[in-house]
Amino acid sequence: MKGGEAIIKALIEQGADTVFGYPGGQVLPLYDMIYNSDLNHVLVRHEQSASHAADGFARASGKVGVCIATSGPGATNLVTGIATAYMDSSPVVAITGQVPTHLIGNDAFQEVDMLGIAMPITKHAFQPKNPDEIPAMINSSFELAKTGRPGPIVIDVPKNVQEQDLSDYFSNIDNFSELTLDTPGYSPTIKGNPRQIKKASKIIANSSKPIILAGGGVIISGASKELKEFSELIQAPVTTTLLGKGSFPEDNDAYLGMLGMHGRKVANLSLDESDCIIAIGCRFSDRTTGSIEEFARNSKVIHIDIDPAEIGKNIEVDVPIVGDAKNILIKLITDIKTLDIKKINQNSIEWYNDTLLFKKSCIPRLTYNETPLKPQQIIKEISHALDEDSIITTDVGQHQMWAAHFFDTIKPRKFISSGGLGTMGFGFPSAIGAKVAMPENDVLAVTGDGGFLMVCQDLATVKEYDIPLIICLFNNRKLGMVYQWQNLFYEKRLSHTDLGQTPDFLKLSESFGVNAERITEVGETEKAIRAAKKDGEAILLDIVIDKNEELPMVPPGCGITDILGEYKIENDITGINGGNSDTNDTIANKRGGD
Ligand SMILES: Cc1ncc(C[n+]2csc(CCOP(=O)(O)OP(=O)(O)O)c2C)c(N)n1
């Protein structure tokens, strides 16, 4: 058995029967062995798409995603996708070719120090020097990628190691799965300290304004059911981070929307007023907290996270609990049930009801009959055309935030977006990965004209493998998000954010053999998505949107209550927006309504 065969055998034993890749000189031996193997290889058209597709595959399915590239430029093209997966704790195994061992360090053709590059953007990076090391290395890579706080792993395999035979002992092992590497010091804490959990229960019981902040960790640990039970038990409203979308059913009354710089007003103002923040599986990124000095001013903070390095990193915490979100929520629920629930609920009922009324007063208007089309209306049409098992991926920009704000995600792993790295070019290839992983689910990519152009070559992959994706391209002829920042914070000096001569996306798509339709009228998006679902073929919808629509946002460096701009609201019940009910006026004023 050769090194390359050992890679394939170990991958298949790990359940990784699908890989996204692109061949080249230093992975020729591996590709030669893939030729007649059972591995399902998807040939993407740029290595960046391979790493994003593997990431989308992982986020949609909860399994490890795998990508392969050659050494040098192939490996460096994977890097953005690997860093994206690292920032968002996604389990990806990236296999890169490397020059033969005797040439390493010689600046050989297509040599790059992939181990060095990978170290700061992976959980770990390996390089086997001997093919016997491969089985254990692959097994441990999968173990490391998916356990504890998940993340990407790189295995950089020199060409000669792919070609060499394993020793007889290893060649004759039927099943590699018992073979693992020694990983000293790696033992993620999953249980959570019972004393800390008790302490948290007491603080929650005494709180009169509790709020839950749920992050991507809730989804990763499969704790959505427990999160809902917990919220109902203590009667606390729930806000999420971008990556936490789907951890809690967003059609539930208690859901306030996303928090932070691009957060929803009701979420930001309520969190600011709460007296007890229970943060679960989130890392308090600057996009979530805004100015740290102004964050959680009135509040005790309970922080549950599996990664001890996250605790106290950005925000001072009153009760840290290190462990798996699901385990800890189960224990927290059990503990709180031993206390006087009636009293706990009495403490917080006024706050809970006020918050829900405040939420009602802030429901954004989604119905617009005008052209050019409003993004709110488009997301509404997308929502109508899809069901709760459909998966949405987004790129990065204004369209991402509109999707985050207006697409009610009901189930976990159904909203996939690049949060930490904010990678333009992520939305489309991650949708390819998600669809390959979950062929039964409708998958729709929401993307901008800027981001889509960075990865549009993978329309060829969609055509070649007949991947029935729906691509909704929010076409505003500019780099909308950056344009908005220039408008707001750089005195309207619009430096290089107008895309000028954008391509004809219909012709572009059709040249790849992928159907396309231009959308200019209200109702056409929903109709086109429904038709595409029936047809079962990929389609690109070039949706011409109002290029002047802007997002409410918190200026960088400000506290999360300093929101610039406001959505038009659907339902005016507070009196503060021109309505005439006075009952809730005080609530809105209390929370800084304007
Ligand atoms: C790879 C990369 N380059 C640059 C940026 C900075 N950036 C963030 S949003 C954005 C504009 C995105 O424009 P578009 O894709 O058209 O989406 P829109 O904001 O218009 O919806 C840019 C340039 C980024 N996030 N990623």
Least trusted range by pLDDT, from 287-301, 386-400, 524-538, 558-572: 558-572
Q: Of the residues 5, 47, 133, 381, which is catalytic?
A: 47
State the DSSP H helix or E strand holding residue 203, giving kind and residue range, or none if neither.
helix 194-206
pLDDT value at residue 266: 96
Q: How far apart are the first and last CA of the chain?
A: 71
pLDDT of residue 158: 98
Parallel, antiparallel, or unpaired for β 255-258 and 238-240? parallel
Give residue 572's pLDDT band: very low, low, confident or very high (50, 70, 90).
low
* Mean pLDDT score, 169-194: 94
Q: Are residues 475 and 357 in the same domain?
A: no
How many structural domains is the chain composed of? 3
Task: Tell whether ligand 1 has an atom less than 6 A from the beta carbon of residue 479.
Answer: yes
Whether residue 11 has its Cβ less than 6 Å from ligand 1: no
Q: Which atom of ligand 1 is nearest to the CA of 480?
A: 20
Q: Does 352 map to a domain?
A: yes
Q: What is the CATH number of the domain that holds 76?
A: 3.40.50.970
At residue 10, the pLDDT reads 97
Check pLDDT > 70 for residue 481. Answer: yes
Per-residue pLDDT at 192 exceeds 60: yes
Average pLDDT over residues 433-446: 98
Asked if residue 449 has its Cβ within 6 Å of ligand 1, the reply is yes
Is the same domain home to 133 and 222?
no
Instruction: Quote the ligand 1 centre to 397 CA distance (angstroms).
Output: 5
Catalytic residue among 159, 326, 359, 380: 159
Confirm or reject: Cβ of 422 under 6 Å from ligand 1.
Answer: yes
When pLDDT is averaged across residues 54-71 and rounded to a whole number, the result is 98
Residues of the chain with pLDDT > 90: what percent? Answer: 94
Tell me the per-residue pLDDT of 80-108, one tens digit each, with 9 for 90 and over: 999 999 999 999 999 999 999 999 999 99
Give the position, in ligand 1's atom list, of the atom nearest the Cα of 421: 25
Q: Which of 257-261, 333-337, 541-545, 567-571 has the lowest mean pLDDT?
A: 567-571
Ligand 1 atom, smallest distance to 451 CA: 15
Strand partners, 392: 415, 444
Looking at the structure, tell me whether residues 393 and 434 fall in a common domain: yes
Q: What is the pLDDT of residue 69?
A: 98
Tell me the per-residue pLDDT of 64-87, one tens digit each, with 9 for 90 and over. 999 999 999 999 999 999 999 999
The residue-averaged pLDDT of 506-513 equals: 98
Q: Is residue 590's pLDDT more than 90?
A: no
**Helix ranges restricted to H, 235-324:** 265-273, 286-289
Q: Would 520 be classed as within a structural domain? A: yes
Token pair 């809902």 in the structure block, residue = 228
Assess whether 411 and 490 both reside in one domain.
yes
Report the separation in Å between the CA atom of 217 and the middle of ligand 1, taken as the mean of its atom positions: 26
Clarify whether residues 42 and 156 are in a common domain.
Answer: yes
Q: Is the pLDDT of residue 593 over 50?
A: no
> What integer best gives the mean pLDDT of the chain?
95
Choosing from 333, 362, 391, the residue where a domain stops is 362
pLDDT above 70 coverage of the chain, percent: 96
Q: What is the CATH number of the domain that holds 251?
A: 3.40.50.1220
* In the predicted structure, residue 193 carries a pLDDT above the cut 70: yes
Q: Is the confidence at residue 582, as pLDDT, over 60?
A: no
Q: Is 381 in the pocket of ligand 1 (CB under 6 A)?
A: no
What does the alpha-carbon distance between residue 555 and residue 560 come to, in Å, rounded to a whole number?
9
| Rounded Cα–Cα distance for residues 426 and 445 (Å) | 10
> Measured in angstroms, how far is the CA atom of residue 412 from the centroid of ligand 1?
26
| Residue 454 CA, closest ligand 1 atom number | 1
Based on the fold, state whether residues 208 and 317 are members of the same structural domain. Answer: yes
Environment class of 523 (CB within 10 Å of its CB; exposed 0-12, middle 13-18, buried 19+): exposed
User: Is-contact 205 334, C-beta < 8 A?
Assistant: no
How does DSSP classify residue 192?
Answer: -
Active site residue 47: yes
Longest dimension (CA), the chain: 84
* Token code pair at residue 480: 């909308």
d(CA 53, CA 293): 38
Q: Whose CA is nearest to atom 1 of ligand 1?
A: 424
| pLDDT given at position 573 | 47
388 is catalytic: no
Of 246, 259, 262, the residue nearest 409 (C-alpha): 246
Cα–ligand 1 centroid distance for 485 (angstroms): 11
pLDDT of 148 over the 60 cut: yes
CA of 424 to the centre of ligand 1 (A): 5
Tens digits of per-residue pLDDT, 156-165? Answer: 999 999 999 9
CB 21 within 8 A of CB 53: no
Range of the domain at 129: 3-172
Q: Give the residue whose CA is nearest to atom 8 of ligand 1.
A: 397
> DSSP letter string over 31-47?
HHHHTTSS-EEEE-SSH
Same domain, 353 and 400: no
Quick one: residue 415, left, alpha or beta (phi over 0 = left, psi -120 to 50 = alpha)?
beta
Residue nearest atom 2 of ligand 1, based on CA coordinates = 424
pLDDT digits (tens, 9 = 90+) for 220-241: 999 999 999 999 999 999 999 9
CB distance 121 to ligand 1 below 6 Å: no
Take atom 4 of ligand 1 and give the residue whose Cα is closest. Answer: 424
Token pair for residue 50?
């391979």
Does any ligand 1 atom lie closer than 6 A to the CB of residue 399? yes
Q: What is the pLDDT of residue 519?
A: 98
pLDDT of residue 298: 86
CA of 495 relative to ligand 1 center, distance in Å? 14
**Residue 578 counted as domain residue:** no
If one residue of 456, 481, 496, 497 were mutated to test the ligand 1 pocket, choosing by the most ligand atoms within 8 A of its CB, it would be 481
Last residue of a domain, one of 120, 140, 172: 172
Determine contact, residues 455/48, Cβ cutoff 8 Å.
yes
594 found inside a domain: no
Residue 180 within a domain = no
Is 110 annotated as catalytic?
Answer: yes
The pLDDT assigned to 478 comes to: 96
Does 375 contact ligand 1 (Cβ within 6 A)? no
Q: What is the pLDDT of residue 592?
A: 46
Can you give the pTM of this predicted structure?
A: 0.96
pLDDT tens-place string over residues 262-320: 999 999 999 999 999 999 999 999 999 999 999 998 899 999 999 999 999 999 999 99
The answer to whether residues 229 and 134 belong to one domain is no
Residue 168 sits in the same domain as residue 19: yes
pLDDT level of residue 570 (50, 70, 90 thresholds)? confident
Residues 347-374 have a mean pLDDT of 95
Residue 566 lies in a domain: no
User: Could you give the 3-state DSSP secondary structure of residue 552?
Assistant: coil
Indicate if ligand 1 lies below 6 Å from the C-beta of 448: yes
245 lines ligand 1 (CB under 6 A): no
Is the CB of residue 420 less than 8 Å from the CB of residue 88?
Answer: yes
Encoding tokens for residue 81?
A: 């996708």
Confidence of residue 571 (pLDDT cuts 50, 70, 90): low
Residues 202 and 120 reside in one and the same domain: no
Residue 92 near residue 52 (C-beta atoms within 8 A): no
Torsion sign, CA atoms 296, 301, 255, 232: negative
Distance (angstroms) between ligand 1 centre and the Cα of 403 equals 15
Do residue 126 and residue 43 come from a single domain?
yes
Instruction: Identify the pLDDT of residue 569.
Output: 86
Q: Is the pLDDT of residue 385 over 70?
A: yes
Q: Is residue 552 part of a domain?
A: no
Q: Is residue 583 part of a domain?
A: no
Choose one of 172, 207, 235: the last residue of a domain: 172
Characterise 18 by phi-psi region: left (phi > 0), alpha (psi -120 to 50), beta (else). Answer: beta
Do 294 and 264 share a domain, yes or no? yes
Q: Is 81 in the pocket of ligand 1 (CB under 6 A)?
A: no
Q: How far is CA 83 from CA 48, 120, 127, 268, 570, in A?
A: 11, 9, 19, 28, 39
